[in-house]
Structure 1
Amino acid sequence: MAISWDDYAVEWENEPSALLYADKAFESLQQVVDIQSTRVLDFGCGTGLLSQKLSPLVKDIVALDSSEAMIEQLDSKQLKNVEPVVDTLSRGLVAMHPAFRHQFDLVVASSVCSFLPNYSDVADIVYSLLNKGNYFVHWDWFSEDDQEGTMNPRHVLQVLSSVGFDEVEVTTPFSIDTPRGKLTVLMATAKK
Structure 2
Amino acid sequence: MSDLFEEKSRDWDQNERVLAISRAVGDAVLRHAGLRPGDRVLDFGAGTGLICGRIAPRVQRMVAVDISQSMLDQLARKPELQGCVETRCQNILDCPLDERFDLIVSAMAMHHVEDTDRLARSLFGHLSPGGRIALADLDAEDGYFHDTGPDTEGVFHHGFDRE
> Which category of TM-score, normalised to the shorter sequence, fits these structures?
0.7 to 0.9
Residue 133 of structure 2 aligns to a residue in which SS?
Answer: strand
Letter in 1 for 2:161: N
| Residue pair 1:48, 1:63 contacting (<8 A) in 2 also | yes
User: Which protein has greater RCO, CA pairs closer than 8 Å, 6+ apart?
Assistant: 2
Q: 2:88 aligns with which of 82, 85, 88?
A: 85
Letter in 2 for 1:112: A
User: Which 5+ residue runs of structure 1 have no aligned equivalent?
Assistant: 95-99, 155-192
Give, in angstroms, the shift of residue 144 of structure 1.
8.0
Match of 1:26 in 2: 26
User: Which 5+ residue runs of structure 2 have no aligned equivalent?
Assistant: 143-155
Match of 1:121 in 2: 118
Tell me which protein shows more strand as a share of its residues: 1
Matched, 1:150 2:159: yes
Match of 1:112 in 2: 109
Runs of 4+ in structure 1 displaced over 2 angstroms? none
TM-score normalized with structure 2 length: 0.82
Comparing 118-127 and 24-33, the one that deviates more: 24-33
Residue 4 of structure 1 aligns to a residue in which SS?
Answer: coil
Distance 1:20 1:144, change over 3 A: closer
Residue 36 of structure 1 aligns to a residue in which SS?
Answer: coil
Residue 123 of structure 1 aligns to a residue in which SS?
Answer: helix
TM-score normalized with structure 1 length: 0.70
Distance 1:3 1:65, change over 3 A: closer
Match of 1:180 in 2: none
